[in-house]
Each structure stands twice: as structure tokens, then as C-alpha cells.
Chains A and B, each alone.
Chain A
Amino acid sequence: MKNIINVRRNRFLETSFAGGLILAFSLSQTGSSPPSGSSLPAGGESAPADFLLIGPDGTVTMIINKSEMGQGVYTSLAMLIAEELECDWRQIRVEPAPVAAVYNNPLTGMQMTGGSMSVRTEWDRLRTVGAAAREMLLEAAADIWGVPKARCHADNGMVFHDSGRKLSYGELAEKAAGMPVPVEVHLKDPSAFTIIGKPVARLDAKIKVDGTAVFGLDVKTPGMLTAVIERPPFFGGTVKSLDPARALAVPGVTGVVKTDSGVAVIAEGFWAARKGRDVLDIVWDEGPHAEISTDTIRQRYAALAQNAGRVARDKGNFGAALVSAAHRLTASYEVPYLAHANMEPLNCAIDLKDDRCDIWVGTQAQTLHRDAAAAVLGLEPQQVSLHTTYLGGGLGRRGNPHSDFIVMAAEVARAIKKPVKVVWTREDDMRGGYYRPFWYSRFSAGIDKSGDLTAWHQRLVGQSIMTGTAYARRLIKDGVDATSVDGAADIPYEIPNLLVDLHSPMVGVPVQWWRSVGHSQNGFMVESFMDEIAHATRRDPYQFRRALLKDHPRHLSVLDLAAQKAGWGSPLPSGRARGIAMCESYGSFVSEVAEVSVSPDGKVRVHRVVCAVDCGRTVNPSTIEAQMEGGIVFGLSAALHEAITLEDGSVRQSNFDTYPVLRMDEVPLIEVYIVESKGAPGGVGEPGVPPIAPAVANAIFSATGRRIRRLPIGVVEMEKM
């Protein structure tokens, strides 16, 4: 039994729904306890808190509070509502939600999309919305017919009476809106699901193959100008002096303004703005970070790793266990700064009026970004209407916790007071910071006489991404940023003595989460070092992991399934080898086996990847498969090719010529197997990423004897074999 609290009609959507409202719901934040699994925060705003409208033509409009950035959330959340609503799937439309407290993620208290949390946090709530609406439609039909509701049932957008009479949802909607709201609704037993768990084609596929989907960059309102911003060549630099004359002389340029972020050139269209920017005369104050380089960061981190850091996990007695160990193993690992490199460069469009403003932006952080814009513009948050467009990729970047791409646009809008779209060039996007941090780890392991792993130590060095953000209070405890040690402090392997400690140096390079966050580095490092230990003890890497996971059935099941489907241990064509890895992240368990060969000149070819995933109860298997495939491609791209490096304070990469990413000709055959599971739904957007780098690196070791301890892999050094 679930409680529905204070379902009410909503004025805001009533007036905005052209076809005449018909049924609108909200779940209030007040009242008795909400559906299990979510605790709605007490918000101060009065919200257009609706999830669902049914029109007289039977169209079901679902208001989705999560950003669609490719992960299929518009479809999967619609499936949750539809499962209980019993509507006609073909009549569903989805719309992005406005900003309101009722749409907040219950764990973060903000409206946002990230952490592979969407299905996990909306699982109960949206099914409850669907069930409540269905009950009201049944009530309406029963009332019209003068029959008991119990003799009516709903199916495919119709209510039927036992007698055979029927009415469509469109016909019933207006009356249903006036029906009492059910205090309690029954949610289906999962065995009765007809939509959840079945592969469903994406609702946004059509508009993404005919070119009509509107991304932030495609927004244009009448008179809207385009701006590009020249930013300092070094992080933390500022404008010392500016001569805008040559830029202003470029046809189409309408203005040049200095903002807190740099110098904006405003024009009628992108090309004029870009040309104007090219001829700006600016003298920069270099700021404090003009000497920073990857080499000095690496040296500093290696030195830091000599000393104990803040303890993130301490089990047993690592020190004593290492001393008494029969064999010891140590290794250092390193991963680079990484750009998100979303295909759609960052952008933000703003139309500022005297007492309000509209913002169109592909954002993963509606509440934060609206509030940041309001602060720059001197408005109350309620005076800012933020419209979420489709996102040309998110990957974390569009949830920037410092609101960088929103603030920059708001500064321009404030200066020119005309509708303006600020567009980042690819170079701006790639050199603009907020990277996945550079990480260094030093590992030590102790092995006893019988070859068992008795002691494990990982010391991490890298920047905290949560420091200085709205998430810091929740995620940083005793100086340990939980996201730094995700996948490190919580490794599932049964090791009696375990120590994980952390240094979080301050470095003048802006950093941020990147698809799979801490797991992106720790998955590689932990699963590679685990492989080193397996080989050092002459155990099979798959069996070695199995032995350390005896009481972890879900970890074991994905490990076993991946190994089995990959034919682990069976012969391969000459020159090929397999590597295995397994990571738990965001409530899901994923194991991947990579089949790799390395050419005599060190070029890596990944032929095949087998992925097994247990993400609990599945919502849309097609999406799960797509997210695993996508996560593997994304992680493989980084593992093989990607690095942001700094020299003399400046980022060396600027575009896809200097920052190569994975293309069609390098994509392996990817097979995804989903474990049937009754576990709570887990995330799928990120968990496919972490195991691929170690699976490939471990396969390279098996193929060549070369251990990869630094990413990207690039070309494997073969001469020392």
C-alpha cells in the first residue's frame, strides 16, 4: 500500500495546456510519509508540481523532472508512470519539467540529473502518480455508469465495465479531474508488469533522426544575438587591458563587453562573433597559475604519496600484516586530466527583461543553475524561468557545480540587456577546465606463504571535486571527499587488512565529476593492481577474484556470467588475450572481459568486449544495453587515447585533432548480458565505464607481459619485452 498525499489540480499547467486541462497531479511535500525509498525535502517554493496531464484527445503528457542527455530517461521514467496508468503508449508525450522543489532529487535536495540516480529515486514516486491517475479515471467511469468501481478495469487508455461498456481516457479526463484523490493506491506486484522490464524504443528517437530535436545551441528567439567569450589563457587570469576597436569593426559585431569571465564579443550570428574575437586586443594579467604543468603535478603527487594521508578506510592492521607478509608487491598508477568533450559544446541562451528572465539551456543542475543566474542578474530565483532543452551529451559537465557556463552567459545578458546566446567553441569547451582530476595512487600488498592476499593499501593523491560545492557538506567527512575514494575505500574483496588513505592537494586546475566520477580512476587502478597480485601469485585472475568474493553473490554472478560468455580460459587466435575486471558502482554490478591484441609496433586493438550487468530490477533492457555499450566506448576512448595535459600554465589540447577520441573503426564487438535480478533498481548511466580500462589493460598484460600503470595507453612500449 502506498500513500498519495494531497493530489491537487494545478493552476500553472491548467492555463498553459492549450487543449484544456484535464487531469493534473502533484504529490505535495507535506503530509504523511511519502512512498518508501524517497523522502521529499520540505521546499519553500509553491510549485507547479505536476507529473501528468491527460487531454481530451487522450494525449498523455508526462512532465519529466530529469534531463535527457542520451541515457534514455524520458523513456524510462515514462515507463514507470505508464506501467500503473494503463494508458496507450502511443499517446504519450514527454515534456521537460520547469524548476520547482517538487522535482528535486530527494537525496540531494535539488533538481538535477546525475549519479545514475534517476530511476532509483523516481521508482516509487512515478509509479504512484500513474496509479493515482488510473484510480481517478476508474472512479469517473464508475460514476458515469452508476456502477461499482470494482466492476471496472483500465487497459490501454480505456476504462471497461464488465458489461462491455467502455470510455476512453480522453473522454473521462475532465470528469476524472474532479474525482476525489485516492488516499492509498495499490502498486502492482512486479510479476504483473507489462511495460517495466520489456525493451521499449525511445520516445525521443524520431526527433533525433529527423533533426528536429532542439538542443541548447538550436535555441533562437526573435532578435537573439550570439556571443563568444575570450577567456584568459591561464586558469585564474584576468583582463588587464582591452582594445575592442578592431573587433567592433568586424561586420555583424554589435558589441564587446568585459565581464568577470573575460571579454565577450556579441554579434548577429556565431561567425561574426568568432571573427570579432579573433581580432580582440587584450593584455592579460596571467594570474597565479601560469606556471602549472602536468610534469610538476606528477612530481608533487608522487612526493605526497610518500606520506600518510587522511584515512578513508582502515580495517584490521595493514602495517603489521605487511611486515609479517611473505611477499610484498608495490606499484604506482596514474591517470590524466580528462575533458568531457560532449558533442554539443557548452552554451546558454538568456532573454533578460526588467523583472524576469528566461533561460534555455541543456543543464543537469536546474536548481543550482537557475539560482546562480538569478544571483548574477539580481533577480529572485522565482523570477527566472529555466527551460531545459535536450542535452547534446551531459557526462557530468552540464551539471557544473560552479554554474560556470550559466554565470558567463548571465554576465553577458546583464551587460547588454538583449536576448543573447553564449556559445562556446570546441576549443573553449576543451580548454575551459572542469576536468576529471589527474590521479596518482601508490599500492602495496602483502601476500602470505600460501599465496593469499592478506594486506592491501591504496594511497590516493588527487583534487577533491566536491570541495567548495553545494554537495560538500554531505559528501566530505573528516577531510575525505567520498567521491575521491569511490571504488577504493569500498572494494568488496575479502581482505583481512585494508588501508585506504588520501591526499587532496589544492591545484589551480578546475576539476569536476566525469561519467562514473571516482570509479573512473579507481576502477582502473584497483582492478589492475588486483590483476598484478593474481599474476604474482600465479593464480588465474578470474578465479583469484572469485576466491575473494565468496559472500558476494551479486559480484560473483556478473563475474561468472562475463567469464562464461567470453569463453574465459578457452583458446584464442594467436596474439590475442583476455583481461577481466569487475566493479560495483551506483547500485549496479558490472564485469567486463576484453579480448585484445597488440601489434609489433605497440598498437592496441580491442576485438571484443563481453559485459555482464546486474542493475537490479530492469526497467528498459534496450536502454541498459545501450548504456553499457556507450559506457564501454566512452571508457575505452579514455583508456586508449584521452589526456588533457598542461605546460607552462596552458592546456595543450584544444580540439579533436589534439584530443583524439574513439571512432567507428576502433569499436570492438560489444555483447551485453543482463543478470535477471530482483534487487532494487540500480544505475545504468555510469556503471558500464569503470571496468573497461582495467579489462583492456589486464588483457594487454596477458598478451604482452607489459603492465599498463598509466593512462592513456596510447602505444604500448614493446621494445623492452
Chain B
Amino acid sequence: MISLKVNGKMYEVDASPETPLLWIIRDDLGLMGTKYGCGIGRCGSCTLHMDGQAVRSCAIPVASAAGKDIVTIEGLSAGGLHPVQKAWLDEDVPQCGYCQSGQIMAAAALLAANPRPDDADIDRAMSGIICRCGTYQRIRRAIHRAAAMQQG
């Protein structure tokens, strides 16, 4: 059994240790907001927070997530009211929406580490997450907006 802390709750999961954290989150815990896109850590749809860092959960064996503080899109905020989520709504960012959990989790981690990112910072933090709908420009605007919001 592997002990996981996800969104503040403790879970005991019976899984082989190399199982990617993504599939534990989705298939065992039933948290469907974290998405599968590539399985090799190249698209970022599965991005979540592990000890505050944005990581690709498809490339993390569940065994190495044991004991870590894991946060998914479901646990980012109460009622979807994190500043990043509010900024996303203000800029009407999503299109198909599939990559947006990953985008939002990456943006939230970026802002936690760097409250006033410039465009180059955003490129560095966000280029790991693909959006085929092409919402990138609105994502950039939303991150700047969320940064401003957090400054108050």
C-alpha cells in the first residue's frame, strides 16, 4: 500500500510502484480534472502540484509521490476562486478546455514562486503545456491579470 496526500486528504492505494501518479489520481481516486495528453511529460495536460511545484503527473511513479503534498485542480481553491481561475474567467480563456487544468496549475505555481512574472518568465513556465486550440495569448493576459490581482 502506498500512502498519498491529495488535496489535504490521505489515501491508501494498492498499486504497483511504477504506476504513473496520473492514473492513480484519475482511475483510483476518481479525480478527473487532471488530464491525460501524452504520457511522456511533453504536453503538460496532467500538471499538478507536488510540494508546491508544478509537475507532470504522467511521468511520476506513484511510489515517489508517497508522503508528498499533492494538489490537483479540484484542490486548488474552494469553489474555483483562486486568482488564476478568476483571471481565466475574466479573460474568457478556455476553448475546448482540455488542457486548461494543466495550464492553470502551472500558472498558479509560477505566481506562487514569482508574483510579478514578465513575458519571458511566462514563456519559461508555460511552454511545457500545449494548447491545440491556441489560447496562449489569453493565457498570457490572464497570468498578468492574476499577478495584478494578487498584488491587490
* Interface mask (B80-110 → A, CB under 8 Å = 1, otherwise 0): 1000010011001111111111001000000
CA of A72 to CA of B138, assembled, Å: 15
8 A Cβ contacts from A153-210 to B? 201-202, 204-210
Binding-face segment, A2-10, A101-109, A664-672: A664-672
Stretch in A327-335, A582-590, A655-663 with 4+ CB within 8 Å of B: A655-663
A205 touches B96 (CB 8 A): no
B30 is an interface residue with CB less than 8 A from chain A: yes
In whole angstroms, how far apart are the Cα atoms of A242 and B27 in the complex?
A: 28
Contact status B100-A209, CB under 8 Å: yes
A80 close to B (CB within 8 Å): no
User: What's the nearest-Cβ distance from chain B to residue A684, in Å?
Assistant: 12
Contact A633 B134 (CB under 8 A): yes
> Is A56 an interface position by the 8 A CB rule?
no
Most chain-B Cβ atoms within 10 A of its Cβ — which of A226, A271, A342, A630?
A271
Within 8 Å by CB of B134, from A344, A345, A634, A655, lies A634
Shortest beta-carbon distance from A230 to chain B in Å = 15
A69 at the interface (CB under 8 A from B): yes
Contacts of B19 in A (CB 8 A): 271
| A214 & B20 in contact (Cβ 8 Å cutoff) | no
On whether A393 and B98 interact (CB within 8 A), knowing A205-B93, A209-B93, A212-B33, the answer reads yes
Most central of B27, B72, B137 by chain A CB within 10 Å: B137
Question: Is A393 in contact with B96, judged by CB distance below 8 angstroms?
Answer: yes
Known: A344-B37, A629-B138, A632-B134. A209 touches B88 (CB 8 A): yes
Min C-beta distance of A76 to chain B, whole Å: 13
Instruction: Compute how far the CA of A661 lies from the CA of B130 in the bound complex, rounded to whole angstroms.
Output: 8
Asked if A661 and B93 make an inter-chain contact with CB atoms under 8 angstroms apart, the answer reads no
Q: Which of B39, B88, B100 contacts A426 (CB 8 A)?
A: B39
Q: Closest CB of chain B to A338's CB: distance in Å?
A: 12
Q: A392-B35, A663-B127 are known contacts. Are A205 and B101 too (CB-CB below 8 A)? A: no
Interface residues of A in 201-257 (CB under 8 A from B): 201-202, 204-215, 217-218, 220, 226, 251
CA distance A669 to B140 in the complex (A): 11
Bound Cα distance from A391 to B35, whole angstroms:
13
B35 cross-chain contacts in A, Cβ below 8 A: 215, 217, 343-344, 392
Taking a contact as CB atoms under 8 Å apart, the answer to whether B96 and A343 are in contact is yes
Contacts A202-B92, A657-B42: A393 and B72 contacting too (C-beta < 8 A)? no
* Interface contact B97-A392, CB-CB below 8 Å: yes
Q: Does A390 contact B (CB under 8 A)?
A: yes
Q: Write the nearest CB–CB distance from B114 to chain A, whole angstroms.
A: 15
Given the known A-B contacts A206-B89, A634-B134, are A426 and B94 also in contact in the complex, defined by CB atoms under 8 Å?
A: no
Interface: A500 (CB within 8 A): no
Tell me how far the C-beta of B142 lies from the nearest C-beta in chain A, rounded to whole angstroms: 10
Contact with A along B58-93 (1 / 0, CB 8 A): 000000000000001110000110000100110011
Q: Is the CB of B130 within 8 A of A211?
A: no
In the assembly, what is the distance between CA of A657 and CA of B37, in Å? 12
Q: Which residues from chain A contact B122 at a C-beta distance below 8 Å?
A: 664
Q: A269, B92: Cβ atoms under 8 Å? A: no
Asked if residues B97 and A70 are in contact (CB atoms below 8 Å), the reply is: yes
Q: How far is the CA of A630 from the CA of B95 in the complex (A)?
A: 9
> Are A70 and B96 in touch, CB under 8 angstroms?
yes
Least CB distance, B78 to chain A, in whole angstroms: 10
Set of chain B residues within 8 Å of A391, measured between Cβ atoms: 96
Please, which residues of chain B bring their CB within 8 A of the CB of A661?
130, 132
Kindly state whether residue B10 has any CB partner on chain A within 8 Å.
no
Q: Which residue of B lies closest to A213 (CB)?
A: B97
Taking CB atoms, residues of chain A closer than 8 Å to B45 are 343
Chain B nearest CB: distance from A312 CB in Å?
A: 31
Contact check, A629 vs B134: say whether CB atoms are below 8 A apart.
yes
* Residue A395 lies at the interface, judged by CB distance under 8 Å to chain B: yes
Contact of B99 among A251, A343, A637 (CB under 8 A): A343
> What number of A-B contacts does a CB cutoff of 8 Å give?
176
**A interface SS class:** loop
Interface residues of B in 2-22 (CB under 8 A from A): 15-16, 19-20
The complex places the Cα of A251 from the Cα of B16 at a distance, in Å, of: 9
The reply to whether A626 and B96 contact each other, CB–CB distance below 8 Å, is no
Q: Does the CB pair B43–A343 fall under 8 Å? A: yes
CB distance from A327 to the nearest CB of B (A): 40
Is B38 in contact with chain A by the CB < 8 A criterion? yes
CB of A388 within 8 A of chain B?
A: no
Docked-complex contact A208 and B32, CB < 8 angstroms: no
Interface centre among B30, B33, B38, B98 (most CB of A within 10 A): B98
Contact present for B133 and A70 (CB under 8 Å): yes
Q: Provide the bound-state CA to CA distance between A29 and B30, in Å.
A: 43
A71 located at the interface, meaning its Cβ lies under 8 Å from any Cβ of chain B in the complex? yes
Distance in angstroms between the alpha carbons of A704 and B45 in the assembled complex: 37
- List residues of chain B with CB within 8 A of the CB of A345: 36-37
Whether A537 sits at the interface, judged by CB under 8 Å, is no
Given contacts A211-B73, A343-B99, A663-B127, contact A634 B92 (CB under 8 A): no
Contact of B130 among A214, A268, A663 (CB under 8 A): A663
Chain B residues with CB under 8 A of A557: none
Give the residue among A343, A344, A393, A425 with the most B Cβ atoms within 10 A.
A343
* Alpha-carbon separation in the docked complex, A70 to B42 (Å): 22
Which residues does chain B contribute within 8 Å of A633, judged by CB atoms?
Answer: 131, 133-134, 136
Q: Mark A342-376, 1 if CB is under 8 A from B, else 0.
A: 11110000000000000000000000000000000
Q: Give bound CA distance, A665 to B97, whole Å.
A: 20
Output the nearest chain A residue to B32 by Cβ-Cβ distance. Answer: A218
Please measure, in the bound complex, the distance between the C-alpha atom of A716 and the C-alpha atom of B74, giving whole angstroms.
45
Known: A271-B19, A425-B39, A664-B140. A208 touches B94 (CB 8 A): yes
Is B123 on the interface with A (CB-CB < 8 A)?
A: yes
Give CA–CA (A204, B73) in the complex, Å: 16
Task: Name the CB-closest residue of B to A200.
Answer: B92
Q: Is the CB of A214 within 8 A of B132?
A: no
Assembled-state Cα–Cα distance A71/B135 (Å): 11
B137 CB contact (under 8 Å) in A211, A268, A270, A667: A667
Query: Do B130 and A270 touch across chains, with their CB atoms under 8 A apart?
Result: no
**Chain A contacts for B124, CB-based, 8 A:** 665
**In the complex, what residues of B have CB within 8 A of residue A669's CB?**
137
Q: B118 an interface residue at 8 Å Cβ cutoff?
A: no
Task: Give the distance in Å from the alpha carbon of A262 to the alpha carbon of B10 in the complex.
Answer: 40
Answer whether A208 and B100 are a contact pair too, CB < 8 Å, given A630-B95, A634-B134: yes
* Alpha-carbon distance A633/B137, docked complex (angstroms): 10
Once the chains are docked, how many angstroms separate the CA of A342 from the CA of B37?
9
Contact call B42/A656, Cβ cutoff below 8 A: yes
* B89→A201 contact, CB < 8 A: yes
Q: Which residues 584-634 of A have a CB within 8 angstroms of B?
A: 622, 626, 629-634
Nearest-neighbor residue (CB-CB) of A636 within chain B: B134
Residues of A near B96 (CB, < 8 A) are: 68-70, 342-344, 390-394
Residue from B95, B130, B131, B135 whose CB has the most chain A CB atoms within 10 Å: B95
* Max chain A Cβ within 10 angstroms of own Cβ: one of B94, B123, B133: B133
| A71-B92 contact in complex given A271-B27, A343-B130, C-beta closer than 8 Å | no
CB contacts (< 8 Å) of B130 on chain A: these are 343, 656, 661, 663
Q: Is B112 an interface residue (CB 8 A)?
A: no
Given contacts A208-B97, A663-B130, contact A670 B137 (CB under 8 A): yes
What 5 A-B pairs have minimum CB-CB distances, sorted nearest first?
Answer: A211-B33, A633-B134, A208-B97, A392-B98, A70-B96
**14 new A-B contacts at CB < 8 Å, known A209-B93, A345-B36:** A68-B96, A201-B89, A207-B97, A211-B32, A215-B98, A271-B27, A343-B35, A344-B98, A626-B92, A655-B42, A656-B40, A663-B128, A667-B137, A669-B137
Q: List 23 A-B contacts (CB under 8 A).
A: A69-B96, A205-B92, A209-B88, A211-B32, A217-B36, A341-B132, A343-B35, A343-B132, A344-B37, A391-B96, A622-B92, A626-B135, A629-B134, A634-B133, A637-B132, A663-B128, A663-B130, A664-B126, A664-B127, A665-B123, A665-B124, A667-B140, A670-B137
